Structure 1
Amino acid sequence: MINRSALDPDDHARPPGAPAPLTGLKVIDTATLFAGPFAATLLGDYGADVVKIEHPDGDPARRYGAQADGVPVWWKVVARNKRSATLDLHTDEGQRLFRRLAADADLIVENFRPGTLERWGLDYATLSADNPRLVLLRMTGFGQTGPYAHRPGFGTIGEAMSGLAHLTGTPDGPPTLPSFPLADAVAGLTAAFAALTALRARELTGRGQVVDLSIVESMLGVLGGPLATYDLTGVMPTRQGNRSPNNAPRNVYRTKDDHWVAVSATTLSVAERVVRLVGRPELAEEPWFATGAGRARHTEELDTAVGGWIAERTRDEVVERFEQAQAAIGPVYDLADVLADPHFAARGSIISVPDPELDAIRMPGVAFRLSDTPGAVHSAGPRLGQHTADVLGELGLKAEDLSALAAKGVI
């Protein structure tokens, strides 16, 4: 095990006396794996009391990905700032206790297949009868309605059916899927916004509502430009590798010391700086250079000029020269580079969170910074059922009640 006792100081804590912006918001997170739980994580980062309801066997995220000293790493990140309570919702007693928890909640996050909550007697009509201000955030692959509603849908399916995979990869290669849960992250970000929108509407109407969020539709939302372009022009976008059909130079280039850098010249002024820097100022005088589409048609010529210049220099030299020229560049980092980057360290982009099982764990900090009411990470993902006694104790259950429920397998 890596000794993390000397990691970066605890710079993720909220300043003394600063309020958490979502203090007082109670969230019940019953979702599994990543899209729904990520939405709840974002809310917890800014002060919401997030109660993670897990089956007594544990959330599937506890068994996903790598482990460190037998501890699930992904779980520690996606379940940060949450309390873990176990409850078997397949049982009558589990459903009864869940209804009691929902009666005092502001938001429930769930991603069961459509009809599951209804089958358990936990539909919105039932829950809102006791709590009219409740917001129910329902996250599925395809939404609650439509011919695909009952299909299982993970992030990978959203990446495929939204058109993302079709647009990703090399021109002569197959469609490419990301190696991490990109669609889940996009859906989680969308869901956090949706939840806060519904809670804001509650302030205006006095009542809660149901949020129907689809992973596929979340991905469609970020691919609107290519979709509308095809609809209006009939031109089907194709895979471009690391290039762009709208601009050039835009690519990744290998350096002399066998690293990679990414160059993006989206605007004319930046493109001019790049070709001057690499010793080809005459390219900027060409008529085609004046527009992004024109430069994209001459990608080969621009890539040869930029790539050839970069190949003769080290990564550090290339980045320094581009910065001096005020041209956009970024080194292609691996995760070791991310953890060592001085800018990320200075901003607290990567934080070290104390943890009783791992000593400490480094993970991304809060998603954004608020000047007066900042977010904070105060704990990594909890042990299974670590807070069951606390959560159910808030309903008035005593130790003997918990023992009886455990004997029945309800918790």
Structure 2
Amino acid sequence: MKALLDGIRVLDMSTMIAAPTTASLLADYGAEVVKVEQPGRGDFVRTFGAQKQGHGLYWKTLSRNKRSVALDLHLPGVQQLIKRWITSFDVVIENFRPGTLEKWNLGPDTLLDIHPGLVILRVTAYGQQGPYRDRPGFGTLAEAMTGVAAVTGYDDRPPLLPAFPLADVVAGYLGSAAVLAALYKRQQTGEGEIIDLAIYEALMKVIELQILEFDQNGTLHKRKGNQLQDTAPRGAYLCSDGRWMALSGSTQPVAERVLRAIGGETLVRDPRFRTNLDRVQHADELDALIEAWCKERTRDEAIEELSNMGCAVGPLETVDSMLKNPQIQARESVVTVHDPDIGPMRMTGVFPKFSRSKPTIHWTGPSVVGQDTFAVLARDLGLSPTQIQALNETGDLSNTKTQCD
């Protein structure tokens, strides 16, 4: 079966999470992704987070379906090699600080002069312009600067930063959409594109409702835990068996179904809960009623009863229980992939589903830094083992000797 992005080649010169997520998504959809790693040390994600048997677990999924080539981009010989090689690719992804590629004589203008149809994605914390452009940054700072952390948590406690790379992953998804849009434009015009993606801007779509409310009404949201200032009921509720469920009544019909389920028509007609504005103003009282109702039922009983009434309700899972969730299992949202170093690994599948294509996880993140250097450069540039070894001996191309022996 032909892959969705069959024939598209991506040179992934990025590190860490945001930009590599874009490359990972493109690889999931069938693009050939060649990841450039610093010789010896490799990508920082190899040693980021949990490890097993000396291998980074996140690396194995973030770099799945990618090939690893070890090149030191600081070296003039490698920079010249990139200029020769760039015509083999449709997309370049990088996340160096602004000005770094230009310093290496690999700036977008230079690359587009060589390859006018190239799509270049540049991912940084703050973008290529503005007073923050030269500052180092990670997704955590985007979560702080955009106001996401300020409205997360409880008002009597400090702002809450996500316990996962929210901004990075959101930026990675936005980057993939931008690359595909640019490739579509190139198909029509033959012209390449330079995409300037600031991680904080990707996250601003998440907070946009609050931006609009402040701009038009002067509203500044407080931290309200699991409640929302815009709608009620909404929250996490503890059931009699010690397990949690989540519930949302974001539309009037659904909210009325919740009220009817826990208190009958009397509660539906209660003036405290008649409209969404009424319910928001009395959210604590409404939550107390839902909590009392849940404490008389196990989670499964509560979810079944509410679901049968047409309420929007579901289990609040931990990671271990989530993996057993029948919906996740039925859609193969988590799949098992064999890794040569670790063995069977469960990781997220390819999202979303396609009716006429079935994207596949062919392999996990490459075990060895630069393990594909010789094979890829020999194929793309016609370099012989002797030529690659000569580059290796001059220090312009490291970590290839073992591939050439």
Report the counterpart of residue 389 of structure 1 in structure 2.
Answer: 374
Deviations 1:288-346 (A, max 9, x none): 53432221111112111111111122122222222222211121111111211121111
Report the Cα offset of residue 36 of structure 1.
Answer: 0.3
Q: Given residue 389 of structure 1, which amino acid in structure 2 is its aligned partner?
A: F
Q: What SS does the corresponding residue of 1:278 show, helix, strand or coil? A: helix
Report the counterpart of residue 392 of structure 2 in structure 1.
Answer: 406
Distance 1:32 1:331 in 2: 35
Distance 2:277 2:136 in 1: 40
Q: Give the gaps of 5 or more residues in structure 2.
A: 399-405
Q: What SS does the corresponding residue of 1:366 show, helix, strand or coil? A: coil
Query: CA contact under 8 A between 1:245 and 1:293: conserved in structure 2?
Result: no
Report the Cα offset of residue 409 of structure 1.
Answer: 6.0
Report the Cα offset of residue 280 of structure 1.
Answer: 4.6
Deviations 1:161-195 (A, max 9, x none): 01100111112111110011000011001000011
Q: Given residue 343 of structure 1, which amino acid in structure 2 is its aligned partner?
A: Q
Distance 2:265 2:52 in 1: 52
Q: Give the gaps of 5 or more residues in structure 1.
A: 1-17
- Provide TM-score, normalisation by structure 1: 0.93
- Provide TM-score, normalisation by structure 2: 0.94
Q: 2:83 aligns with which of 82, 93, 99?
A: 99
Report the Cα offset of residue 85 of structure 1.
Answer: 0.6
Pick 1 or 2: higher relative contact order, CA cutoff 8 A, min separation 6. 1
Matches within 5 A, 1:158-197: 158-197=142-181
Report the counterpart of residue 216 of structure 1 in structure 2.
Answer: 200
Q: Given residue 387 of structure 1, which amino acid in structure 2 is its aligned partner?
A: D
Q: Given residue 27 of structure 1, which amino acid in structure 2 is its aligned partner?
A: V
Q: Percent identity?
A: 44
Report the counterpart of residue 35 of structure 1 in structure 2.
Answer: 18
Distance 2:263 2:212 in 1: 38
Report the counterpart of residue 370 of structure 1 in structure 2.
Answer: 354
Q: Given residue 312 of structure 2, which amino acid in structure 1 is its aligned partner?
A: A
Q: 1:243 aligns with which of 227, 245, 269?
A: 227
- Residues 1:358 and 2:342 are matched in the alignment: yes
Deviations 1:102-138 (A, max 9, x none): 1221000000000000000001121111111001100
Distance 2:373 2:73 in 1: 14
Report the Cα offset of residue 22 of structure 1.
Answer: 0.4
Q: What SS does the corresponding residue of 2:273 show, helix, strand or coil? A: helix
Distance 1:281 1:376 in 2: 51
Q: What SS does the corresponding residue of 2:323 show, helix, strand or coil? A: helix
Distance 2:270 2:391 in 1: 77
Q: 1:306 aligns with which of 262, 269, 290?
A: 290
Aligned residues between the structures = 394
Q: Given residue 241 of structure 1, which amino acid in structure 2 is its aligned partner?
A: G
- Residues 1:264 and 2:251 are matched in the alignment: no
Query: CA contact under 8 A between 2:118 and 2:193: conserved in structure 1?
Result: yes
Query: CA contact under 8 A between 1:280 and 1:305: conserved in structure 2?
Result: no
Matches within 5 A, 1:284-295: 284-295=268-279
Between stretches 37-46 and 319-328, larger displacement belongs to 319-328
Report the Cα offset of residue 20 of structure 1.
Answer: 0.8
Q: Given residue 265 of structure 1, which amino acid in structure 2 is its aligned partner?
A: G
Q: What SS does the corresponding residue of 1:276 show, helix, strand or coil? A: helix
Query: CA contact under 8 A between 1:352 and 1:360: conserved in structure 2?
Result: yes
Q: 1:206 aligns with which of 160, 178, 190?
A: 190
Report the counterpart of residue 75 of structure 1 in structure 2.
Answer: 59
- Residues 1:45 and 2:24 are matched in the alignment: no
Report the Cα offset of residue 80 of structure 1.
Answer: 0.7
RMSD of aligned Cα (Å): 1.3
Distance 2:320 2:95 in 1: 34
